[in-house]
């Protein structure tokens, strides 16, 4: 998914000015995040805007705001929004999430956040900003989500398992609880490499599911193909 643009069934995403290209993580979050008839959605760290666009397609009555700290990525996301059929319901905000005023509340908040520590940095400053936690720590993320989420709202996030375990601990300190966890494997014999989790203010019985992306012949599994239906070309 590293080319300069990516064509979905109902929209196109240009990504030549973004440090982080469209990834499987983004597509997973865009398909798995759930909420009951959300009227306002927030995408934290939107990058190309692909998750916001997928949610605009899935939730036709929702107004969606997407925040992005990088100027080039924010400009490209805005262009992608403007050229889509959902443009009237999409808004880009070029800012740090920490600086977003607590004026509005959101029924659904999603994030595919940076999770690498500083010592793994490359020479690419834009990529570092997208991948590393310097600009947005997990504690800052949870603090802001807890102030922006409606009482019955849902926060969905994707992270590697160890980092998600850290996030769960921080979230509980602010009254947000993981009530659903979807474990992602590339193949049936592969280790779990991502968790997609739902957090709410209600302490519910935790549900655990598993999603395998590929069969032994490298074809997508039926479960993953069903998720992609309506989004990727050929599904």
pLDDT, tens digit (0-9, with 9 covering 90-100), for 168-213: 999 999 999 999 999 999 999 999 999 999 999 999 878 899 999 9
- The CA distance from 153 to 201, in Å, is 8
Sheet holding 40-44, edge to edge: 90-94, 63-68, 40-44, 106-111, 149-159, 192-200, 177-187, 207-214
Q: Compute the average pLDDT of residues 91-97.
A: 96
- If you compute the radius of gyration of the chain from its CA atoms, what whole number of angstroms results? 17
The dihedral through the CA atoms of 176, 182, 183, 186 has a sign that is negative
On the CB side of 2, CA atoms within 13 Å amount to: 1
Higher pLDDT, 101 or 110: 110
- Read off the pTM: 0.90
Q: Compute the average pLDDT of residues 118-140.
A: 58
On the question of pLDDT at 77 being above 50, the answer is: yes
- The CA distance from 111 to 179, in Å, is 17
**What is the reported pLDDT for 136?**
84
**What is the reported pLDDT for 116?**
53
* CB atoms inside a 10 Å sphere around CB 63: 17
pLDDT category at 127 given cuts 50, 70, 90 is very low
pLDDT category at 165 given cuts 50, 70, 90 is very high
On the question of pLDDT at 20 being above 90, the answer is: no
On the question of pLDDT at 133 being above 70, the answer is: no
Q: Are 117 and 132 spatial neighbours (Cβ–Cβ below 8 Å)? A: yes
- CATH superfamily, with its number, for domain 5-228: Vaccinia Virus protein VP39 (3.40.50.150)
């Amino acid at each position: 998914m590293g080319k300069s643009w990516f064509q979905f069934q109902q929209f196109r995403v240009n990504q030549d000015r973004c440090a982080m290209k469209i990834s499987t993580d983004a597509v997973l979050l865009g398909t798995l995040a759930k909420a009951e008839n959300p009227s306002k959605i927030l995408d934290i760290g939107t990058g190309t805007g692909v998750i916001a666009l997928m949610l605009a397609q899935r939730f036709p009555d929702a107004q969606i705001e997407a925040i992005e700290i990088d100027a080039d990525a924010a400009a490209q996301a805005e262009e992608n929004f403007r050229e889509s059929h959902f443009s009237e319901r999409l808004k880009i905000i070029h800012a740090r999430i920490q600086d977003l005023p607590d004026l509005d509340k959101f029924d659904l908040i999603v994030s595919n956040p940076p999770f690498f520590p500083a010592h793994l940095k490359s020479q690419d400053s834009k990529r570092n900003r997208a991948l590393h936690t310097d600009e947005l720590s997990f504690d800052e993320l949870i603090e802001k989500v807890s102030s922006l989420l409606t009482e019955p709202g849902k926060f969905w996030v994707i992270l590697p398992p160890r980092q998600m375990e850290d996030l769960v601990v921080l979230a509980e300190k602010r009254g947000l609880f993981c009530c659903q966890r979807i474990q992602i494997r590339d193949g049936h014999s592969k280790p779990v490499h991502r968790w997609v989790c739902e957090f709410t203010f209600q302490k519910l019985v935790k549900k655990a599911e598993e999603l395998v992306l590929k069969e032994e012949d490298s074809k997508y599994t039926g479960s993953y193909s069903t998720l992609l239906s309506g989004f990727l070309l050929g599904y």
